[in-house]
Amino acid sequence: MSKTIINIKNLHASVDGKAILKGINLEVKAGEVHAIMGPNGSGKSTLSSVLAGREEFEVTDGEVDYLGLDLLELEPEERAWEGLFLAFQYPVEIPGVSNMNFLKTALAEKAKHKGLEPVSSKDFLKLVKEKSQLVELSDKLKNRSVNEGFSGGEKKRNEIFQMAMLEPKLSILDETDSGLDIDALRIVANGVNTLKNAENATIVITHYQRLLDYIIPDFVHVLHDGKIIKTGDKTLALELEERGYDWLVKDLV
Amino acid sequence: MTFLKEKIFDIKTSPIDSVEVKNALTQVSEREFPQRKTEDWRYAKLGKILNKNYQFDANEVKDISAFLIPDLEADLVVLVNGFYNEQWSNIKSLDGVTILPIEKASQLDAFKNHFNVLAKESQEIFTSINTAYNQGGVFVEVAKNIQVERPIFILNINAGNGVISNARNLIVVAQSSELKVIQRYVTQNGTENFNNALTEVFVKQNAKVTIEKIQDFSEFDRQVCTEEIHQEKDSNFVINTFTLSGGFVRNGLNIKVDGTNCYSEMNGLFIGKGEQFIDNHTRIDHLKSNCISSELYKGILKDSATGVFNGKVIVHKDAQVIEAYQQNKNVLLSDTATMNTKPELEIFADDVKCSHGTTTGQFDEEAIFYLQARGISKNAAKEMLIGAFANEVIEKISIDAVKDFVLAKLA
């Protein structure tokens, strides 16, 4: 049996006193891809924010075990050092901070935390070259300020490039398909699939089924009003595409 | 000893042999110190300067190595408490370049033709005090058609307690010549010193002058620092002001663009912490047509620091086809830091392209979270963003050694 990467139990979270997550239970094991789908406002992005450690969300109940650690006790950077990666729905532009300097600092801090020597400049450049090819990111983009002036597709490719550089154990892709044309979608999905192995896991949060044509999920969960109301295999995604969410919600009542 | 507020100046007057000094003495006795209601000084807590006893002091400095800029090849002028210091100044004589203690220059034509020509237009009492009571400074003249490769580094040192210094500099760069100047202000020791330095600069036809100004007095020292600039046609003037420390700093930068086809640039970066007060007042007068001016000031304020930016751009009636750009951006890193910013555009010509903008805010929390989510700790993320914010101004520095020095000071 493969090892559990993350185990979310009865997770409740609110923002500004308003309850958004109302008891999420989800276990993700190594080698698995889980898709979380659901209509707008169901809590998809809140879930990814809480897992990544965004401050404005308050966890009111429940627990999250991540590789034997109490995830909710960790700072966002500590979560990253432990191999948790969030691909942002809206990657932030940071003028004046070069993409390369940013990644080098991120890798150095992680190495420091792990008690390792920081990667040498030579090895770093080699790594950059190799990983950027994965998502067809040009040198021009790599050397710019973080996400500054990037198109929507370039930002998402940059997210997957960073993911490749950091080699996470758990990747959470938050609406990574939003705003992507079909070519960009294929490039991004190809990157994610190449990085997938038996030791890591992926949670794909998406509104649409089309990304799941490229990244094949082992499980599909439907989130509604802060709870997972149905879990199935990849065929559930197709059914949702066909029938929408209403039939599930009706069943609930 | 004197009590500045009561203007009992029983101290030595300027040794410069000029009628200007006598006129300035009269002005000092007639003028009032700014009040809280004086618009241009409304945010300044002048009590820090006025309610003190000050004295002149040509203090000795035993070692200046800590104040030098690594790898900087420059002619060195050392001013200690406003006195020209022969012991530490180190000047290579170059043909066509005159560098002299200002009091020794007073009989030169270039001196007589330029000294106080700009400063006497000022209504500021601190300017009159400088003219009346300065005890030294440097006179620099560059003859025509000389690109001076070695910059001149004017190192201003405060040394002592309650010392007033009124360094006075005059820089004249003749037609088609080029000069770079570094001005640094530091404290050796002591507290409650008041540095009231003033520099007049004449940029003649087709000449180019660049000033890199670095202020890092101790947080117990005070400064009123004035530059008066005059540009003739086809000239180019750039000043980059870095205020990295100082208890009370008031910069007054005035540029008269008195010729066509000129370029003027003013950039500034100021970093305030503790209870520091940093005030940048700039004024550019476009008097002739076809000129461009560009201004970028950025402030980072921590703790309970206060910043002021007031930038006046005045496009006079006969100055057509002017492009004037001004920007002031500030970041407040605490709830108790304060920034007062006021751009002022006065345009009397019709064919003018002007823009100004000002922003004051906190760091983008989204950017900090993004960096954290990639494994960069919160403090390192903030440092990274501060560095990125400051870098836009640091990039303007024209001398690599100075750029590296400022970067190292921020690290």
In this predicted structure, what is the pLDDT of residue B11?
A: 77
DSSP letters, B315-362, are E-TT--SEEEEEEEEEEE-STT-EEEEEEEEEE--SSEEEEEEEEEE-
Give dist(CA B399, CA B113) in Å, integer. 31
**Total count of domains within chain B:** 1
Cβ of B359 under 8 Å from any chain A Cβ? Answer: no
Question: What proportions of chain B, in percent to the nearest 5, are helix, strand and coil?
Answer: 20, 40, 40
B366, B373, B384 ranked by CB distance to A97: nearest:
B384
State how far the Cα of A225 lies from the Cα of A41, in Å rounded to an integer: 7
Among residues B294, B383, B267, B279, the alpha carbon closest in space to that of B339 is found at B279
pLDDT category of residue A180 using cuts at 50, 70 and 90:
confident
Which residues of A lie inside 8 Å of B (Cβ-Cβ)?
A: 52-55, 75-77, 79-81, 85-86, 88, 91-92, 94-97, 102-103, 105-107, 109-110, 113, 145-146, 162, 166
Q: Which residue of B has its CA nearest to A102?
A: B371
In this prediction, residue A253 carries a pLDDT of 59
Distance from CA of A250 to the nearest CA of B (A): 37
For an interface test with A, the pick among B371, B386, B391, B392 (most A C-beta atoms closer than 10 Å) comes out as: B371
pLDDT of residue B148: 96
Q: What are phi and psi of A35, to 5 degrees?
A: -105, 135
| Contact between residue B258 and residue B288 where contact means Cβ atoms under 8 Å apart | yes
Mutate to test the interface with B, among A105, A116, A166 (most CBs of B within 10 A): A105
pLDDT of residue B7: 64
Q: The pTM is what?
A: 0.86
Min Cα distance A106 → chain B (Å) is: 5
φ and ψ at residue B282, rounded to 5 degrees: -125, 150
Contact A52 B373 (CB under 8 A): yes
* Lookup: tokens for B259: 């010729």
- The number of CA neighbours under 13 Å toward the Cβ of B109 is 1
Flag the least confident range among A24-28, A93-97, B278-282.
A93-97
Q: How many Cβ pairs within 8 Å bridge chains A and B?
A: 75
SS3 A32: coil
Query: Whole-angstrom Cα distance, residue B200 to residue B125?
Result: 16
With a cut of 50, say whether residue A198 has pLDDT above it: yes
Please choose, from the candidates B365, B362, B373, B358, the residue with its C-alpha nearest in 3D space to the C-alpha of residue B336.
B362
In this prediction, residues A207-218 reach a mean pLDDT of 92
Predicted confidence at residue A208, as pLDDT, reads: 85
Q: Which domain holds residue B255?
A: 3-410
The tally of domains found in chain A comes to: 1
CB-side neighbour CA atoms (13 Å) of A80: 30
Q: Which structural domain, as residue segments, surrounds residue A185?
A: 4-252
The Cα angle at residue B243 between residues B237 and B246, in degrees rounded to 5: 140
pLDDT by residue (tens digit) across A98-148? 999 999 999 999 999 999 999 999 999 999 999 999 998 888 888 889 999
A248: closest CA of chain B, how far (Å): 34
Under an 8 A CB cutoff, do B369 and A77 touch? no
H helices then E strands: how many in chain B? Answer: 7, 23
Largest separation between any pair of C-alpha atoms in chain B: 67
- Tens digit of pLDDT for each residue in A155-168? 999 999 999 999 99
Residue of B nearest to A145 (CA): B388
Which residues of chain B, if any, have pLDDT below 70?
A: 1-3, 5-10
For chain A, helix (H) and strand (E) counts, in that order, are 9, 12
Q: What is the pLDDT of residue A31?
A: 96
Q: What is the rounded average pLDDT of the residues A53-80?
A: 97
Q: Which residue has the tokens 């990111």?
A: A137
Shortest Cα distance from A163 to chain B (angstroms)? 9
What CATH number is given to the structural domain containing A56?
Answer: 3.40.50.300
Residue A10 CA to residue A24 CA, distance in Å, equals 5
* Backbone CA torsion sign across A181, A184, A189, A192: negative
- In this prediction the ipTM stands at 0.95
**Predicted local distance difference test score (pLDDT) of residue B1:** 46
pLDDT the model gives residue A162: 96
pLDDT of residue A22: 97
- Find residue B248's DSSP bridge partners: B222, B277
Instruction: Tell me if chain A has a CB within 8 Å of the CB of B410.
Output: no
Token duo for residue A60: 């009111």
Q: Does B374 touch chain A (CB under 8 A)?
A: yes
Please name the residues in contact with A181: beta carbons below 8 A apart, sequence gap of 6 or more.
A153
